[in-house]
Amino acid sequence: GHFNTWLEWNPGDLTLAFEFDNFDLGGNSDLWDIMLLANYQFTDFFAATIRYTHEDGENIAILNNYNSDRITLALLFTITQNFAMNIEYSHTEIDTNAGDGDTDEFYVEGLVSF
């Protein structure tokens, strides 16, 4: 089973959001996560987003207990009405019974809409 809920508040150029997921993966396995997001549209051309995500799983495959925390900063550039660029950096810290670690990710995305 899967339950998802999303709340968003959008006063003008600011968007604030909260998301919650709960997954029943069968047996004793389950996973839940939350996401907090703030986005601000500075101009028609430029926006920025900061996002925090936490995941918490129990009895997930060989990991037994799994926790992660991710912080993301995204810079969004609207090039035309149908094309935008997203430059994004994420840092994730991971905690498992198999060991701890962290990872850094960098994305450059082209977004086409019509």
Task: Measure Cα distances from 39 to 21, 45, 64 in Å.
Answer: 21, 14, 35
Supply the pLDDT for residue 20: 96
pTM of the model: 0.83
* CA-only gyration radius of the chain, Å: 17
pLDDT band of residue 97 (cuts 50, 70, 90) is confident
Sign of CA dihedral 68, 69, 75, 78: positive
The answer to whether residue 67 scores a pLDDT higher than 80 is: yes
Among 86, 93, 89, which residue's Cα sits nearest to residue 105?
A: 89
pLDDT tens-digit map of 12-28: 999 999 999 988 877 77
